[in-house]
Amino acid sequence: MIDIANKITLLRKERGWSQTDLAKIIGSSREIISKYEKDSVMPSIEMAKKIADAFEVSLDYLVGVGLNASFDKKMLQRLEEVENLPEDERERIFHFIDLIIRDYKAKKAYS
């Protein structure tokens, strides 16, 4: 499990943001972002929420704990939308997902 310090650094670098960029977005300072990334200070819940929102991920994803820890906000939104579809439409989606997973596993097994 990746800790919050490494997750913040990873997400920030994936977006090509500097510590100053992130600090401006969440209304903080570069120094505090540095402390979060060095794991010398833990962000408050309020600040962690701001960081998660800036990266468009859930708090679960940011801290690596909870049912949704492996999903970003886009994935959660998609899952929510699928959940709201009629049963027959959900079954069609799951059928295609199952086919793709089966094909991927077969390709991987023969590679």
pTM of the model: 0.65
CB 37, CB 29: distance < 8 Å: no
Q: 89 and 104 share a domain?
A: yes
State residue 42 phi and psi, 5-degree precision: -95, 130
Structural domain for 96, as ranges: 74-110
Predicted confidence at residue 77, as pLDDT, reads 84
* pLDDT digits 0-9 by tens, 72-96: 778 878 888 999 999 999 999 999 9
DSSP conformational letter for 85:
S
Predicted confidence at residue 44, as pLDDT, reads 93
Give me the number of domains the chain comprises: 2
CB 97, CB 35: distance < 8 Å: no
Q: 62 and 26 share a domain?
A: yes
Predicted confidence at residue 100, as pLDDT, reads 95
CB atoms < 10 A from the CB of 78, how many? 12
Q: 79 and 67 share a domain?
A: no
